[in-house]
Amino acid sequence: MEQPKFVDAEPQEIAAAVTVQSQVAGGRTIVLQTYIPRDAPIADYHATLDKLVRSIDRQDDKARLETLELELVKHKETLGQIDTDYKRISIEAEAKWQQQNRKGPAKLQPGEAAQKANVEQNIKRYRQEIAKIEADIEKCKASIARSD
């Protein structure tokens, strides 16, 4: 069996090997390897490492984007359900008020008021989470689009 041939880019130099390994979204691992001339300025080492890390960050953002988009859909669906529940509380309270032949505008009973307050908190929380997910999606898209 013939061995593969390896060609050194610059065989006259002694090089330092650089390996960067990272876990990215989706449980995947990325390993990047390169070399830097041993006597290169420290700035070259930093620039090379920065380039490798940016590459890994971009791949991580690509993997995260799909997860974030699915999460956004689920959060929007849940918010829609919570919003429906919120409206239902008022409708049911008013129907119960009229069924009991009470006079004047309908008032929520303490249990209904507590339930409505809880649902309002959930609506607020989900709107905040949706805004955060949308911001994260935009950051991922910007990172993926960057070509530096």
Output the pTM of the full model: 0.71
Residues 20 and 34 sit within 8 Å (Cβ to Cβ): no
Question: What pLDDT score does 6 carry?
Answer: 56
Which residues are within 8 A (CB) of 34 and not within 5 positions of it... i.e. 6 or more apart? 17, 18, 48, 52
* Residue 27 to residue 45: CA distance in whole angstroms: 28
Q: Where are the domains of the chain?
A: 15-145
Q: Is the pLDDT of residue 130 over 90?
A: yes
Report the C-alpha gap between 50 and 134 in whole angstroms. Answer: 27
Length of the chain equals 148
Confidence of residue 111 (pLDDT cuts 50, 70, 90): confident
Which CA distances in Å does 19 have to 23, 27, 61?
14, 19, 21
**pLDDT tens sequence across 24-67:** 887 889 999 998 988 899 999 999 999 999 999 999 999 999 99
DSSP string, 49-107: HHHHHHHHHHHHHHHHHHHHHHHHHHHHHHHHHHHHHHHHHHHHHHHHHHHTT--SS--
pLDDT at 12 over 70: no
